[in-house]
Chain A
């Protein structure tokens, strides 16, 4: 049983198809194509203070239960797009909806959002357990309630014994796990991740990827994931959005229609290699489309 590679290349970025995946496909994986949208990016555009166009108007819908990866050459605006969704940045034009509402509704039951950054961004003066507890402390959760949740989150990432350590006493991989535990302790519905494993060695990265996809599956999370790695994107995602630069825009889309849970068997399968080749080809096209010489000649 081999799923067809679904691929749509857009001549221009702002196309409404991005919001509605092919309706006739039989889903062997979650989410259903008609799942409710978690994030809707509606013609969001970002022009920086120096006049560069970080993002041309982008339309994208992240549906509940999706594991959506953003991939593309550097400068394609994937991190900018993520920061818009995290509300750390405001679009110059266009708008975003979180669960069909404004950002004010984020944080309510069923609409919780967490961010895991490129670095672990742990506070060096706090023990791991206190770092993980930070989101709960900020929300005013009492210690009696937060302590077991923190411990559970730490155990969930395999750091159950490390709560009393300081960040500098842990390896890079462990620090990243702690950051993920902090992201999960609020029991989010949507997890935003900006190249979280970029600084780690490949072995650790594969291990954390496997843990992450397992977590996503068990907890019915929605994940928006920025990465540089083709293999990581294919292994993790239900859908991959390829972006191009100058200006940052959506270039193509690839659906990875493979059943979950995925394991090493999927990594070694021929269809995994096929997906990787397909994605690699799309990325090459996206890079060519991002080349200043090519784009200026075209304009």
Chain B
């Protein structure tokens, strides 16, 4: 017996946002045409789509450039953030000593620090990666630290009763307990890495072959090519959504066996 398509859970999940999107885009298109809003003020979706196709190669190259910075920064945040978290849980002294500085890193707006980093670091790409990492690393540190500390006291007692070694407790109890927090950290951090990369690009204003999407947006602004600006913007959004979905999928894959990762 085949289920009707409308009852399929995937369709049920995708249908409402799809409908809302179509309605909004239609209204937007209709308003632009109906009120004859000029392209250079607020382009209609169809115009943006046309620009996306027309400037496709340039925009995709820019997208790749931004994504490369994002992904490197994200990978660095994950590795370094996790290492720092493991250090933090080794001793309260280390955590107390360093945590305020991790917070300092987090609360200082990257826009304010970026010019300094770009001056100090000769290679612009490296500077961009540093900026993005500074933003993205904090949720990895704090989430993984909380996760490694979030051990059920009953299970901790159980490990003591059975005389588990420090290593056994780490591998069999602490790391599994931390996974939920770790993956939540990954989701937040991936988004922040993208934000960091774009913000840093704005500040650096790098041109040439390694120009990112932020540079495209700046250039389009100077040239009053607003449809192109929107096209670049839509690519950044799409990249962000893609990252988020990838991280959600990864966490479901890893935690699927023991329940809803959102609840952890």
* Chain A residues at the B interface, C-beta cutoff of 8 Å: 86-88, 107, 113-115, 117-119, 121, 123-125, 134-135, 137-139, 166, 168
Contacts and interface: CB of A to CB of B under 8 A. Distances in A.
Nearest to B255: A125
Q: Most chain-B CB neighbours within 10 Å: which of A88, A114, A124?
A: A124
Given A117-B158, A121-B152, A123-B176, A138 B163 contact: yes
B97 interface: no
B19 to A, nearest CB: 35
A134 B259 contact: no
A115 B161 contact: yes
B154 interface: yes
Contacts of B162: 134-135, 138-139
Interface in B138-159: 152, 154-155, 157-159
A59 to B, nearest CB: 24
Interface in B159-210: 159-164, 168, 172-173, 176, 179
8 contacts: A86-B161, A121-B155, A121-B158, A125-B176, A134-B158, A134-B172, A166-B258, A168-B258
Nearest to A124: B258
B257 interface: yes
Given A117-B154, A117-B157, A117-B158, A125 B163 contact: no
B168 A138 contact: yes
- Main DSSP-derived SS at the A contact region: loop
Given A125-B176, A125-B257, A114 B161 contact: yes
B154 A119 contact: yes
Interface size class of B (residues with CB under 8 A): 20 to 34
A113 B160 CA distance: 12
A86 B157 CA distance: 9
Contacts of B258: 124-125, 166, 168
Contacts of B158: 115, 117, 121, 134
A166 B155 CA distance: 16
B155 A168 contact: no
A134 B164 CA distance: 10
A114 B154 CA distance: 14
Interface in B224-264: 255, 257-259
A142 to B, nearest CB: 16
Contact of B160 (A88, A119, A137, A166): A88
A113 to B, nearest CB: 8
B163 A123 contact: no
A128 to B, nearest CB: 12
A123 B159 CA distance: 11
Contact of A88 (B155, B157, B257, B259): B157
A168 B259 contact: yes
A190 B176 CA distance: 30
Contacts of A121: 152, 154-155, 157-158
The 6 closest A-B pairs by CB, nearest first: A121-B154, A125-B258, A138-B162, A115-B161, A135-B162, A124-B258
A222 to B, nearest CB: 16
B160 to A, nearest CB: 6
B230 to A, nearest CB: 45
B163 A107 contact: yes
Contact of A166 (B152, B179, B257): B257
A138 B164 contact: yes
Contacts of A137: 172
Contacts of A139: 162
Contacts of A115: 157-158, 161
Given A114-B161, A121-B154, A134-B158, 6 more contacts: A88-B157, A88-B160, A121-B155, A125-B255, A134-B172, A138-B164
Contacts of B179: 125
A139 B162 CA distance: 8
A293 to B, nearest CB: 33
A88 B176 contact: no
Nearest to B164: A138
A115 B163 CA distance: 12
A88 to B, nearest CB: 5
